[in-house]
Structures are given as C-alpha cells and as structure tokens.
Amino acid sequence: MSEPTGLAGEAERLDAADALAAVRERFVLDDVTYLDGNSLGALPAHVPARVADVVRRQWGELRIRSWEESGWWTAPERIGDRIAPLVGAAAGQVVVGDSTSVNVFKALVAAVRMAREDGDGGPGGTGGTDGAGGTDGAGGTDGAGGPGGPGPVRDEILVDATTFPTDGYIAESAARMTGCTLRPVTPAEVPSVLADRGGRTAAVLLNHVDYRTGRLHDLPALTAAAHQAGAYVVWDLCHSAGALPVGLDEHRVDLAVGCTYKYLNGGPGSPAYLYVRRDLQHRFDSPLPGWNSHAEPFGMRSDYAPASGAVRGRVGTPDILSLLALEAALDVWDEEGVSVAAVRAKSLALTDFFLRCVGAYVPDGRVESVTPAAHAERGSQVALRCDDAGEVMKRLIERGVVGDYRAPDVLRFGFTPLYVGFADVERAARVLARTLAG
C-alpha cells in the first residue's frame, strides 16, 4: 500500500482551481459525501420554488387555462429541445414523457418496423413511406424487401447481454410482438455477430454506459456497424446524458432513450425522453399511438393519424408536475461555464483521483476496480469489486459516504461534476479504507 500523505492537500488545491466549483452552491447538499448521482441526482436549490408556483398559481389559480397560458401542452417538446444539446442533437428531435422502459418499447418496435419496410435498403436506404413497406407495399411483418425485390428477412433483435434488466425484459416482449428472435450479445461481440448474421438483424439495443461497471461503449463504431448491416440501433443513454458527450446527430444514431433523474437531476421518477432522428420521424410507427401524438389531438377522431415530427413519440397526457420540475432543474446548464465538455473533463479528473486515492488508502487485494482505466472507455462512475459489498456499502452510508451496491459484489460510486468535489472524493476513499479495516 502506497503512502497516502498529501492527497487531502492535493484535493484542496484541485477544488480551489475547479472552474465548476461554484455550481455546487446551486444544489441542496449537506455534510454527507454523496456519490450516488448515477442513481438519483441531487436537488437543485431553486426547483422547490418553481414547483410551488406550478402548484399554487398555474394549477391553483389558472387551472385548465395553464395548458395554453403556462405552456403545459407544448412542454414535452420544449423541454426536449433543452435536453437535445446535452446529447448532441439539434432541436425538434427529442420529446420528453413516459418512462425509459416505455420509450425503449416504442423505439425498439418502431426500429423493427422500419427495418422491415427497408428490405435490403437499410437505414437511410431505399425504403420509406413512398417506397417499399407500409400496409400496401411489399414490406411488413414478413420482412420482404424494397423496390428491387425481396431482401433479407429481418427477424432478429440484438440486445446487450449485460443490459439493465428492464431493457432486456422490454426487448424480449418487443421480439415476441414483432415475431423476432432475441439474441443477447455483449457490445464487444456486436460487430462480429452483425458481420455473420447482419442480414437478419432488424434492430440493435445497446447501453452507452454499463450500469454495473461504468464501461463506456463505442457509440460511433457500434452505430456504424449496425448501419453497415442494414439494421437500426437504439441507444440507452441513462448513464451518459449529462455526464459526457454523446453526439447523436454527429454519429447518425437512429433512436435513443434516456432517463432524467440521474445526471440531469430531474427528481425521483422524472419523465424520460425519446430521440428520433429527423429524417426518420415521418416513418416512426409507434406501437403505442395515443391521442397526444395524433395530428389532431382535439379532433377526437376514431381513426389514428400521427402528428409530424418528434411529437409522434408522445402517448398520453404528460405528467406536468414532474415535467416542470425537470424543466427547472435543467436551468443549471444555463450557468456560465457549464457545458458537457467541462463536465466531462472534471468527471475524468474526479474518477482518476478517486482511483488514485483508493490505491493509496485501501490495502492491496481488498478491492478491484472493474471500471476501465482508459478514459475513452470510462463513464462517470467507478465500480469496485469487493467481498461483502452489500454490507460494506451499508457501513459506508452509516459513516456519511453514500454510494450504492449492485449484486453480487460491486460497490458503485457515481461522480456528478456539477456538485461533487475533489475533497469529497478523497474523503470517500479514506472512509472506505477505514470501513474495510473493520
């Protein structure tokens, strides 16, 4: 074990030089070292007053008028446009609403339907509403091809075998609904599986950051591999949005989903979001068509006609209270000097420093990092394999260091650069060492 002398002083100097340090004051925090923002972000201090206004004035005084006068009806798209730059998307492609699970279902089924319309065209290829596919074309659930004749039968969905369980459950249901075979594969196996069986692959569902290990997967390369095989890709951004650059538009991602209660600090159960690339929006065929996504939502027609644009991703009446709490929480991104690039730089510095402190304070062999050391492969968390991890985390929390535990043996520590400092990191590692010592 190396000598820990000087790390506390180094943390103090790093905090003094931190350009984002002042943003911490925008959050409700206490003496607890909070390293669980990858599960639930801290409360931005101005949100309670904003929510109180929504409840007392917009709901209490304006009542039904607030759908128009307070902008309730357009909130899903308006707030989507505020999230868009945080995931590298232009306005008009993100809609906020429902849960991540519901949005995964919508996106995955829609991806399979588009793949079957394409036939051999692939994403951005010869298929489309005026080509093959649709109810009166050559496509449909039998996977027949585009205008050039029958193409490959798109009857398989690839899903990240290490995914957060709900994504797997949803993928299995979507596969049954669309008559596809579900093939769990690790992200590292995706290119080879696509090269071997890509002609049968309709859609690929992947996580940008592994929720257990914090491994950052190669979104540009995996997206390109899916497109090369003629498949559509759906990315789950729950553990990357608000923590690191995503580049949805730059890398031509087809569809993406994510939650807003982690690094975006939207609050417990805050609504998720759905990204549909602009050139695919006219083809997005949701398996959950609702009155909110109708072209004439107040026309009360018995037949469904989808609206234009990202609005197609809506289903039912939005949850206004949590939606507007999220909108208020996003204000922190308007602060001077706050950007995804700045957050990413600090995130890497924090996780580097934490790994150094753990190496200095914790006896050799007591914990093992399962988070990649390489910056290009690391999200904004550090996961340590540890015997009795569940009990260790309980004792850490009792001592004022809050992380979390994932079965069977992983301690997770999330680093939200907007409010976590280097002194927090040093203290967490020091308390971890004392806890492991008994």
Q: Which residues are catalytic?
A: 164, 236, 261-262, 412
d(C-alpha 283, C-alpha 255), whole Å: 12
SS (H, E, C) 252-318: CCCEEEECCCCCCCCCCCCCCEEEECHHHHHHCCCCCCCHHHECCCCCCCCCCCECCHHHHHCCCCC
User: Please, is 389 exposed, middle or buried when counting C-beta atoms within 10 Å of its C-beta (0-12, 13-18, 19+)?
Assistant: buried
User: Please, is 261 exposed, middle or buried when counting C-beta atoms within 10 Å of its C-beta (0-12, 13-18, 19+)?
Assistant: buried
Q: Which helix (H) or strand (E) holds 222?
A: helix 219-228
CB 233 within 8 Å of CB 201? no
- 255 forms beta bridges with 234, 276
> How much is the CA Rg of the chain, to the nearest whole Å?
23
Query: Residue type at 234?
Result: V
Q: Given the structure tokens 């902008």, which residue do they identify?
A: 71
Q: Are strands 367-369 and 410-414 parallel, antiparallel or unpaired?
A: unpaired
Q: Given the structure tokens 């709900």, which residue do they identify?
A: 166
Terminal-residue alpha carbon distance, the chain: 17
CB 154 within 8 Å of CB 175? no
Tokens of 378: 């690391």
Tokens of 116: 């079957």
Interhelix angle 190-197/219-228, nearest 10 degrees: 10
Q: Given the structure tokens 């350009």, which residue do they identify?
A: 19
3-state class of 336 per DSSP? coil
